[in-house]
């Protein structure tokens, strides 16, 4: 699916993109056509980048290789079993997002990102930069996270049963 088809389906009211191949779709605010259809808000005067808000989407099992989630708010989104090569989550906010069994195969940057009430059950993350990240009330049970940078990251009210965090 290309961005134009995604836009048409979104405008037609579709919100369940389970099994859809969204490779190549940029949700980071760089496509003006997407900015016209998706709710955007600027958080403050210092935030010059548009912030896309995506809510109530089922993207379970979707191919999300090379997709960027910079300056985005995801709320009530199912990403379980999705395939990612890398995840760029800079300056984003996630609430009630399900990352169950997500596997990330390549370097990823999660800078200044917050996760609230998110499920990371059995997630496999390799070569992650966790810089100024907040995990609040998240399930990290059986998650395996290997980082190459861990700076000012907070874990608040979480489930860490059989959680593995390793790195330099």
* pLDDT tens profile 66-86: 677 777 888 999 999 887 777
Domains and CATH numbers, the chain: 3-42+49-167 (2.160.20)
Cα separation, 154 vs 117, whole angstroms: 14
For the stretch 81-136, pLDDT in tens is: 887 777 777 888 999 999 999 877 777 788 889 999 999 999 988 888 888 999 99
Quick one: tokens of 67?
């997709």
CA 60, CA 109: separation in Å to the nearest integer? 22
Is the pTM above the cut of 0.75?
Answer: yes
pLDDT band at 159 (very low <50, low <70, confident <90, very high): confident
Distance CA 136, CA 155 (A): 6
At residue 28 the predicted structure's pLDDT band, cuts being 50, 70 and 90, is: low
Higher-pLDDT residue of 106 and 152 is: 152
């Amino acid at each position: 699916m290309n961005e134009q088809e995604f836009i048409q389906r979104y405008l037609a009211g579709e919100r369940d993109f389970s099994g859809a191949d969204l490779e190549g779709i940029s949700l980071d605010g760089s496509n003006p056509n997407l900015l016209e259809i998706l709710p955007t808000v600027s958080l403050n005067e210092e935030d010059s980048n548009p912030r896309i808000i995506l809510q109530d989407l089922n993207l379970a099992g979707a191919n999300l290789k090379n997709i960027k989630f910079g300056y985005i708010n995801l709320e009530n989104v199912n990403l379980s079993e999705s395939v990612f090569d890398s995840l760029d989550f800079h300056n984003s906010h996630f609430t009630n997002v399900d990352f169950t069994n997500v596997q990330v195969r390549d370097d990823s940057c999660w800078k200044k990102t917050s996760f609230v009430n998110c499920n990371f059950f059995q997630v496999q993350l390799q070569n992650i930069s966790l810089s100024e990240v907040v995990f609040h009330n998240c399930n990290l049970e059986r998650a395996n996270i290997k980082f190459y940078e861990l700076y000012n990251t907070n874990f608040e009210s979480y489930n860490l049963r059989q959680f593995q965090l390793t790195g330099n």
